[in-house]
Structure 1
């Protein structure tokens, strides 16, 4: 099972050239770039660890790619994602997010459905190795 979160998650992994093209698109829209990583990709885990600071003044994709390389070296078996933020309204809005690094072995999740009072149903997730 592949973790599918963000843009492009149903496609094969992006190459560095494709990632660079996406970062160039982000910068052309004057959005800020941010890198985040985690070893817990559970769908409800929306708060990943931030790598460095958001790159608000970045104008060249090479800077983001250098940071991505450094993050990959420090966390080779983590999920790493690129996020694009639009701050034109005075607060940051995530405009784009996509995974750029995955561990060699991805965890699997199982959804358990249980019938409850009346016709209600409860759902629970558990991680499996």
Structure 2
């Protein structure tokens, strides 16, 4: 099972050249670029660990790609994503976010359904490795 989160999640993996093109698009729009990583890609886990500080002053994609390479060397066995934030309205909002690294083996998730009072349904999403 492949974790699908963020932009491009249903496409094949992006090459480094494609990642750099997306990063350059973010920089050209004045968005701050951030690199994050996690070993828990649960959809409700929106706060991943930050790699260094956000790259507010990045002028081109090459610097971001160097940071991405360093993050991959340190955490290549985890999920890594790039996010771009727009602060032009006085607050930061995510404009683009996409996964750029995945572990070799993705355990996936299991959706459990439970009938509760009044024939209502309760759904629980669990790591596949945490079940049974």
TM-score (norm 1): 0.97
Gaps of 5+ in 2: none
Cα distance in 1 between the residues matched to 2:85 and 2:24: 14
> 1:108 offset after TM fit, Å?
1.8
> Mind listing any 5+ residue stretches in structure 1 that lack a counterpart?
none
1:117 aligns with 2:113: no
TM-score norm. by structure 2 comes to: 0.95
CA apart distance, 1:91: 1.3
Please state how far the C-alpha of 1:19 moved relative to its aligned partner: 0.1
Bigger proportion of residues as helix: 2
Distance 2:34 2:126 in 1: 29
Pair 1:80 & 2:80 matched: yes
Please list the CA deviations of residues 42-80 of structure 1 after superposition, one character each: whole Å capped at 9, or x if unmatched.
Answer: 111111000000111111100100000000000010100
Q: CA RMSD in A?
A: 0.8
Partner of 1:22: 22
Q: How many residues align?
A: 129
